[in-house]
Amino acid sequence: MKLSTMKLSIYRFNPDVDKKPYMQDYEIELQEGDHMLLDALLRVKHEDATLSLRKSCREGVCGSDALNINGKNGLACITSIADLEQPVVVRPLPGMPVIRDLVVDMTQFYEQYNSIKPYLQNDEPMGETERLQSPEDRAKLDGLYECVLCAACSTSCPSFWWNPDKFVGPAGLLQAYRFIVDSRDHAEEERLENLEDPYRLYRCHNIMNCVDVCPKKLNPNDAISKIKDLKIERAKEKKPKKLFSIKSL
Amino acid sequence: MLIELVTRRYPGMRFWLFQRVTAVYMAAYTPVLLLYFCIVKPVGYDAWIAFNSPWWWRVLTFLFFFSLCLHAWIGVRDVFRDYVPNQIIRDYLQAFVEVVLLACLTWSIYIFWSL
């Protein structure tokens, strides 16, 4: 059953054929059950099979279909069509190299994520049971572990646009804090030291684009501020190094 | 302790910390200035000179302008690093800003300490 028509303007670029990107207009008939933008994009794809986009779970869990929708990053699968002004302008995530149409190369994003060592580091020998956490320690991970790595936040951050090779970005820093505060992780000092470079952490200027666009309603800016506070606390705890000693004379 | 934190041992933290400390000082100075202004109520040039004549007030005001220049220097430096990829142009722009800020600071010292 046809419900209504929908107008879209979609970024197109095929490096094998096109010299430069262009916007292509589409008008599609929505069907019963088409509620989210991804449904509409798949209708377009059904009419024009040359359109490329990523998608997987269709329910905001995998983070594959992060796009720039009417100028704001978000997940197409959980963006309601009813909330969008038409024609809906759909572009790939900004600041990332475009592979084709709406598909971007996320290598730098994953390299930054990898650089914060996103896994528990614990040198203590394994016991007979799991490493348990108190409810309070577990609660510290709320608002952090839910990140689906869609890159909507990092690609809305100007600091990440200009320095994707140096600045970890909000998604990576949110995950860095997730492991720093994990009571089972014993590499807090190394993790904080790893972020001391002038670019990796301190390029964040708290403009909060990341908070504005996060489809999971997380707050990377808060995590970044807490990392900065922790770095000061830990630096204050350290005994100052001796500036001079007999041996150095 | 603050001096320890702003050394080269913390290359990322120190500029961030400089900016925060200067921001806090400016945020604290401004209401003090307004309060002082409301209490003294300087009207006319002579009153304005009297308003600014206590040495401790001149020191606080100098620290305000120093904080302002340092804060602006770090901010502009960050903007140039993001938006001016050519290092030679960036260095010239940075040098220009440093000269302007230094001139402003010197001028503020001249104005307040020659009253």
Q: Structural domain of residue B13, as residue ranges? A: 2-113
Identify whether residues A18 and A139 lie together within a single domain. Answer: no
Among the partner-chain residues A159, A201, A241, the one whose CB lies closest to the CB of B82 is A159
**C-beta atoms of A199 and B12 within 8 A:** yes
Has residue A249 been placed in a domain? no
CA distance A75 to chain B (A): 28
Q: Which residues of A touch B12 (CB under 8 A)?
A: 195-202
Best of B16, B80, B84 to substitute, by most chain A Cβ atoms within 10 angstroms, is: B16
Q: What pTM value is reported for the model?
A: 0.86
Give CA–CA dist B109/B62, Å, rounded: 7
Per-residue pLDDT of A62-119, as tens digits, reads 999 999 999 999 999 999 999 999 999 999 999 999 999 999 999 999 999 999 999 9
pLDDT per residue rounded down to tens, chain A (249 residues): 556 899 999 999 999 999 999 999 999 999 989 999 999 999 999 999 999 999 999 999 999 999 999 999 999 999 999 999 999 999 999 999 999 999 999 999 999 999 999 999 998 888 888 889 999 999 999 999 999 999 999 999 999 999 999 999 999 999 999 999 999 999 999 999 999 888 999 999 999 999 999 999 999 999 999 999 999 888 888 755 544 444 444
Residue B30's identity, in one-letter code, is T
**C-beta atoms of A197 and B15 within 8 A:** no
Count of domains observed in chain A = 2
Identify whether residues A34 and A76 lie together within a single domain. Answer: yes
Among the partner-chain residues B11, B78, B83, the one whose CB lies closest to the CB of A197 is B11
**C-beta atoms of B13 and A162 within 8 A:** no
The alpha carbon of A182 is separated from its chain's Cα centroid by a whole number of angstroms, namely: 20
Has residue A62 been placed in a domain? yes
Best of B2, B6, B10 to substitute, by most chain A Cβ atoms within 10 angstroms, is: B10
**C-beta atoms of A158 and B78 within 8 A:** no
Q: Answer yes or no: is the ipTM higher than 0.85.
A: no
Nearest chain A residue to B10, by CA: A196
Has residue A242 been placed in a domain? no
Count of domains observed in chain B = 1
DSSP letters, A51-110, are -----SSSSSSS-TTEEEETTEEEEGGGSBGGGSPSSEEEEPPTTS-EEETTEE--HHHH
With a cut of 50, list the residues of chain B below it in pLDDT.
none
Last residue of a domain, one of A104, A125, A146: A104
Q: What's the CATH code of the domain at A168?
A: 1.10.1060.10
Q: Structural domain of residue A119, as residue ranges? A: 107-237
Residues 6 or more apart whose CB falls under 8 angstroms from that of B111 comprise none
Q: What's the CATH code of the domain at B66?
A: 1.20.1300.10
Q: What's the CATH code of the domain at A85?
A: 3.10.20.30
Has residue A247 been placed in a domain? no
Nearest chain B residue to A193, by CA: B10
Give CA–CA dist A76/A64, Å, rounded: 9
Q: Which residues of A touch B1 (CB under 8 A)?
A: 236
Identify whether residues A20 and A100 lie together within a single domain. Answer: yes
Identify whether residues A163 and A214 lie together within a single domain. Answer: yes
Q: Which residues of A touch B8 (CB under 8 A)?
A: none
Identify whether residues A98 and A190 lie together within a single domain. Answer: no
Among the partner-chain residues A158, A202, A241, the one whose CB lies closest to the CB of B82 is A158
| Spatial CA neighbour of A86 closest among A48, A37, A16 | A37
